[in-house]
Amino acid sequence: FGELDTESLRDRVAGQLARSRARSTALTDAVDENDLVKQHSKLMSPLVWDFAHIGNQEELWLVRDVGGREPVRDDIDNMYDAFQHPRSDRPALPLLSPAETRSYVQQVRTKVMDVLASTPLEGRKLVENAFAFGMIVQHEQQHNETMLATHQLRDGEPVLHAPMPPAPPGPVLDKEILVPAGPFTMGTSVEPWALDNERPAHRIEVGAFVIDKYPVTNAGYLEFIASGGYDRPQWWSEEGWAYNRKTGLRAPRFWVRDGDRWLRDCFGVVEPLVLDEPVVHVCFYEAEAYAAWAGKRLPTEIEWEKAARHDPATGRSRRYPWGDEDPGPEHANLGQAHLRPARIGAYPRGESPLGVAQLIGDVWEWTSSDFHAYPGFVAFPYQEYSEVFFGADYKMLRGGSFGADAAACRGTFRNWDYPIRRQIFSGFRLARDPGPEETR
């Protein structure tokens, strides 16, 4: 928090808490009672579960832990503990009603504002206490993105509205970019709100690689489909092919066949594909198959972060591709400002030093990496945040989507999900090994 004095830090935290709550409120006020309590997909919780879970985590960490206050309600902890109840079972729980949920989260928030006003945010306690608030802001924003994905799964008239993302300001040249071999600093030890899995900063030697300037677009993806990509086992991994056959994959999730063309359901509006928009709602296996068809591969998580953060002029890693400034609307499509990824070329001011574009925002990008701890990892504040997920079950996604908020998205931020998941706002970009003549 370096240069911030205690009062500006408090104001900043208060502002972030208010912003995340405004988003939770908008996402839950947009629909009727029935839509709040029903399960729109087995993959998701009822919206009212997410909202009460947001309040319950806030109560556990800020009211009880940081504040040392009496519980608002200690009879509902188990019901809103994600590890006690898988998503598919949550509708059967005796959940708080929408009205009870709204009143509960508000009671918690009132106490939290009191805790914020009286908690030491200086000296020895600063990092610990400020982090707890930051963690809770990020937690609410992460669930808001999940709730946005629930909205995408909901049937019925559209209820969410947002302006179109900016159009590319000039001609767009889709190309590949060579990232020369050399060390870079991955992860962070100084970013105040970084979660345990982003820590600590460590130097890594990375071989030369080539990465696409932009994510794969709907136009590219249509070519893969037209070439029979979904019917050719040669492009698919063994598990990917098995999943493809079992579920009859034909196209990204939410694409709708209309005669001989594909349309896309975007939050209830069925519309023609925007060809130069990054493809969204594909699973890891589809990304992997597309890459094989294109004669390339997915980047590793290390390559992705080097492309996003490494500054060859100084040898240091930036907080974001464009520099150390927090994201603004000129840099990236974040925070549900728009309900879709932006066309490629829309954010020239968000490019990395080597010219890689739209790494932050638009779509989460699948990488080829499993979820592993960085050397020196220490679980914080609890093992259930990251550590219990380490292993080969999950694939890493990087960069955030149009539905990820800037408070929960950084150059170092790591997301993970099962390789079959496609209801998330996931796309991908391609990489490859350079030929000998390219690195000479």
Token pair 């991908």: residue: 428
| Dist. CA 401–CA 282, nearest whole Å | 13
- Is 417 annotated for ligand binding? yes
Kindly write out the interface string for residues 357-396 of this chain, putting x where it contacts ligand AVJ by CB under 6 A and - elsewhere: ----------------------------------------
- CB of 355 vs ligand AVJ, minimal distance in Å: 29
Instruction: Please state the closest distance from residue 136 (CB atom) to ligand AVJ, in A.
Output: 11
- The count of chain residues that interact with ligand AVJ, using the rule CB under 6 A, is 6
Cα dihedral across residues 363, 276, 211, 222: positive or negative: positive
CA neighbor of 217 nearest in space, from 255, 177, 273, 258? 273
Q: How far is the CB of 82 from ligand AVJ (least distance, A)?
A: 6
369 annotated ligand binder: no
Q: List the beta bridge partners of residue 426.
A: 364
Burial 171-199 (b: 16+ CB within 10 A, else e): ebeeeebebeeeebbbbbeebebbbbbbb
Q: Site residues for ligand AVJ, window 104-143 (CB under 6 A)? A: 139, 142-143
Q: How many residues does the chain have?
A: 440
**Minimum CB separation from ligand AVJ for residue 78, in Å?**
16
For ligand AVJ, the closer CB: 184 or 371: 371
As a whole number of angstroms, the distance between CA 399 and CA 164 comes to 20
Q: Give residues with Cβ within 8 angstroms of 356, minimum separation 6.
A: 177, 211, 213, 307, 308, 321
Q: Which is nearer to ligand AVJ, 225 or 379 (CB)?
A: 379
Q: What mask, x for binding ligand AVJ by CB under 6 A, covers residues 411 to 440?
A: ----xx------------------------
Closer residue to ligand AVJ, CB minimum distance, 146 or 352: 146
The answer to the question of residue 197 lying near ligand AVJ (CB under 6 A) is no
Which residue, among 364, 209, 338, has the nearest Cα to 278 in the 3D structure? 364
Return the residue nearest ligand AVJ (CB atom): 142
Residue 146 lies near ligand AVJ (rule: CB under 6 A): yes
Q: Which is nearer to ligand AVJ, 343 or 395 (CB)?
A: 395
Q: Which is nearer to ligand AVJ, 289 or 408 (CB)?
A: 408
Among residues 123, 1, 154, 139, which one has the least CA distance to residue 61? 139
Q: How far is the CB of 195 from ligand AVJ (least distance, A)?
A: 8
Q: Is 316 annotated as a binding residue?
A: no
Does 151 engage in binding with ligand AVJ (CB under 6 A)? no
Pairwise CA distance, residues 371 & 395, whole Å: 6
Q: Which of 404, 440, 388, 397 is nearest to 422 (CA)?
A: 397
Cross-strand bridge partners of residue 184 = 204
Chain residues 218-237 in contact with ligand AVJ, contact rule CB under 6 A = none
161 among the known binding-site residues?
no
Residues 6+ apart with CB under 8 A from 372: 390
> Which residues of the shown chain bind ligand AVJ in the complex (CB under 6 A)?
139, 142-143, 146, 415-416
